[in-house]
Amino acid sequence: MAIDAATVRKVAHLARIKTPEDRLEPLAQELNGILAWIEQLDQVDVEGVEPMTSNVAQPLRLREDVVTDGDKIDAVLSNAPKSADGFFVVPKVVE
């Protein structure tokens, strides 16, 4: 499954990483190298094997559905690129 420049453009968009046109081809080559190496996984017989998503055998814990934290507007906004009046300020994106 060789990757070409068009695929890199699409994936870079999915990842929301702006990639200049002249980087697409070199990136495609790099990714092809890595994916060719990864394809050795096809040698493994995984018939009937359950995908392993976690190392932890225990089920996720549940707790009461109640508020445990909050009322920290200043802390929440303290690292915002821009904020005003207790809100995040984002650039205008709807005309």
Partner 1 sequence: MSDLTKLTLKGAVDGLRAKDFSSAEITHAFLTNIEAANPTLNAYVEVTADKAMDMARASDARIAAGQGGALEGAPLGIKDLFCTEGVQTTAGSNMLRGFVPPYESTVTANLWRDGAVMLGKLNMDEFAMGSSNETSAFGPVVNPWKSANSNAELTPGGSSGGSASAVAADLCLAATASDTGGSIRQPAAFTGTVGIKPTYGRASRFGMVAFASSLDQAGPITKTVEDAALLLRSMCSFDAKDSTSLDIPTPDWTQSVGKSVKGLRIGVPREYVVDGMPAEIQALWDQGVAWLKDAGCEIVEISLPHTKYALPTYYIVAPAEASSNLARYDGMRFGHRAEEFKSLDDLYATSRAEGFGKEVQRRLTIGAYVLSAGFYDAYYVKALKVRRRIAEDFDNVWGQVDAILTPSTPSAAFALGDKQIDPLTMYLNDVFTVTTNLAGLPGISVPAGVDAGGLPLGLQVIGKALDEATVFQVGAALERAAGFTAKPGKWW
Of residues 38 and 67, the one with the C-beta less far from partner 1: 38
For the chain, strand residue ranges (E) read 83-84, 87-88
* Per-residue contact flags (x/-) with partner 1 for residues 11 to 50, judged by CB under 8 A: xxxxxxxxx-------x--xx-xxx-xxxxxxxx-x--xx
Task: Answer for the pair 92, 86: CB distance below 8 angstroms, yes or no.
Answer: no
Position 66 contacts partner 1 (CB under 8 A): no
Q: How far is CA 43 from the centre of its chain?
A: 28
Position 88 contacts partner 1 (CB under 8 A): yes
Written as six digits, the tokens of 94 are 């709807």
Written as six digits, the tokens of 55 are 């190392």
Written as six digits, the tokens of 71 are 């009322």
Position 91 contacts partner 1 (CB under 8 A): yes
CA gap 10, 75 in Å, rounded? 37
Going by the DSSP 8-state scheme, the letter that residue 37 receives in this structure is H
Position 56 contacts partner 1 (CB under 8 A): yes
Position 52 contacts partner 1 (CB under 8 A): yes
Residues making contact with partner 1 (CB under 8 A): 1, 3, 7-8, 11-19, 27, 30-31, 33-35, 37-44, 46, 49-56, 58, 60-61, 63, 72, 75-76, 78-82, 88, 90-91, 93
